[in-house]
Amino acid sequence: MGPYILIEIGLNASEAFEIWNFLVDRLYPRTRIPVFVTWKGEMDLSPSDFGKKLGEILAKMNTSLFTLTHPVDLTKEFSEE
């Protein structure tokens, strides 16, 4: 993935996502370095909101949650099932 910025904050997930969104909008277009935020507080988002917000933020940085460290051929693996 290369270099990235990781920030840990002592808030709940919903507040952390707001800050994460703010940081991505301001930092990523200038630096092109992905920004990640983790939180120490509660997961106060519903599963669907968590997935939705995570997808939206990572899409802004063109960074997939499913970036692996090694090459794969999943389309072939799954087609053989």
Partner 1 sequence: MNTACYLDANIIIALIFPTDAHYKNSLEKVYHLNIQGKKLVTSTYALVEVTRNTLHTISQSEQGKYIFAEPLPQYIQLLQNLKPNQRCEALLNYIISYITKNFHIEVIEQESLYQIETTNNTKIAKLFHEGIKLSWIKIRTKDLLHIAIANLLKTHGVKCIITTDKKDFEPIKQTLEKDLDLKVEILTP
**Using CA atoms, how far apart are residues 13 and 50, in angstroms rounded to an integer?**
8
Contact status: 79 vs partner 1 (CB under 8 A): yes
Candidates 31, 32, 41, 51; binder of partner 1 (CB under 8 A) is: 51
* Residue 73 near residue 44, CB atoms below 8 Å: no
| Min dist. Cβ of residue 61 to partner 1 (A) | 9
3-state secondary structure of 40: coil
Neighbours of 77 (CB within 10 A): 9
Distance in Å, CB of 15 to partner 1, minimum: 15
Of positions 38, 40, 41, 42, contacts partner 1 by CB under 8 A: 38
